Amino acid sequence: MGPMNRLVVAVFLALLLFAAPAQAAPRVAALTPFSASTITRLGVRPVVVGQTLGGTDQYLASLKGVPVLTLTHPLGPNMEQLATYNPSIVLSSKTWQRGSAPMRRLGMKVYESDPTSVAAVGRETRAIGKLLGRTRAANSLATKIENDVRAAQQGIKRRLRVLLILGVGRTPYAMLANSWGGDVVAKAGGQLLTNGLTAPSGIVRISDEIVVQRNPDIIIAVPHGNPGAISKLAKYYASNPNWRNTKAVKNKRVYVATGNQLLQPYPGVAATIRSVRAKFLKNY
């Protein structure tokens, strides 16, 4: 075979190689805002996403147009609706654990991922990347997130005592160190009033006696309400007669955090930490 012929064969083989069908991108249903955000950053567009509960302030603009599944069904999404999108992988959460077995029966690969700590964001990003065959991109993204988190924690001057509460009601439902919001506030330099107290759900009702005794510098309330109700809710929390002698109330440092940055994990956690420091802790 002459050199010309060899060249033709080589070109032909190369064409064959490139013309071979590329490995099909997995069809992913991302039920949590964290997984939807993460896979988008890894270059995978989900075929369907779960409804974002508690606000869309951190929702990626690039996810606009992706169909949304309602998640009020006890199993998570309605199985018939989910099946119509024919996902090969479902990124779900422990919250919707009851739905995992039916999804597997439908031939879907299910991974439950919903970090409850800042440290778990990088870990979960790598795990999702591995699942999607995007290991290198996931490692790179996870490292960037971890570096950003470290940078966001720089220069914390003082650690003020913080009571972080969820929902509405006269008796505080405290978010503990092992809740997402509690860990974010701790990483932002807050010293949680509940100290090292933990509970399986990360949220417990605590005694007002402890609030009076430990006297928080700052109270951050994360209600389930609309942004329009912030001032009304702030007034309500500040008027709690049991808290009137706390430094937080006396110094007018009772804050209401709407949106879901303290409720749900996102890859952009570094920005959340910076926001908590700037808006609530003021510890730059």
Partner 1 sequence: MVVTATVALLAAATASMILGAVHVPFSDIWQSLTGQAEEGPLRQIVVELRLPRTVSAIVVGAALGVAGALLQGALANPLASPDVIGVTGGAGFGAMLTLLVWPSAIALLPVGALVFGVTAAGIVFLIGWSGAHAGAIGRVILAGIAITALFSAATTSLMVAYSDRVQSAIFWIAGGLSSDGWSSLSVVWPYFSVGFVMAIFLARPLDRLALGDDVAASLGGRPRLVRLAAAAAAALLASSAAAIAGLLGFLGLVIPHLVRLAGGTASHRFVIPASALTGAALLVAADTLARVVLAPIELPVGPLMVVLGVPLFLWLLREAV
Which residues are at the interface with partner 1 (CB under 8 A)?
53-54, 71-72, 166-171, 173, 194, 197, 199, 203-210, 212-213, 215, 223-226, 229, 232-233, 236, 241-242, 245
137 vs 204, beta carbon nearer partner 1: 204
70 vs 135, beta carbon nearer partner 1: 70
65 vs 200, beta carbon nearer partner 1: 200
53 vs 271, beta carbon nearer partner 1: 53
125 vs 246, beta carbon nearer partner 1: 246
HEC-encoded secondary structure of 81-119: HHHHCCCCEEEECHHHHHHHHHHHHCCCEEEECCCCCHH
Whether 263 contacts 180, CB under 8 Å: yes
CA–CA dist 13, 16 (Å, integer): 5
40 vs 264, beta carbon nearer partner 1: 264
Rg for the chain, CA atoms, rounded: 23
* Nearest-approach distance from CB 183 to partner 1, in angstroms: 17
Whether 243 contacts 207, CB under 8 Å: no
φ, ψ for residue 138, nearest 5 deg: -70, -40
Per-residue burial over 117-132, b = 16 or more CB atoms within 10 Å of its CB, e = otherwise = bbebbbebbbbbbebb
Whether 111 contacts 130, CB under 8 Å: no
* Nearest-approach distance from CB 83 to partner 1, in angstroms: 21
Amino acid at 183: D
56 vs 135, beta carbon nearer partner 1: 56
131 vs 238, beta carbon nearer partner 1: 238
* Nearest-approach distance from CB 150 to partner 1, in angstroms: 31
* Nearest-approach distance from CB 218 to partner 1, in angstroms: 18
Helices 33-41 and 118-132: crossing angle in degrees, nearest 10, is 60
Element holding 160 (H helix, E strand) = none
* Nearest-approach distance from CB 242 to partner 1, in angstroms: 6
* Nearest-approach distance from CB 181 to partner 1, in angstroms: 12
Contacts of 6 (CB under 8 A, 6+ apart): none
Identify the sign of the CA torsion 67, 180, 100, 127: positive
Contacts of 55 (CB under 8 A, 6+ apart): 227, 258, 259, 260, 263
Whether 59 contacts 33, CB under 8 Å: yes
* Nearest-approach distance from CB 261 to partner 1, in angstroms: 14
* Nearest-approach distance from CB 175 to partner 1, in angstroms: 10
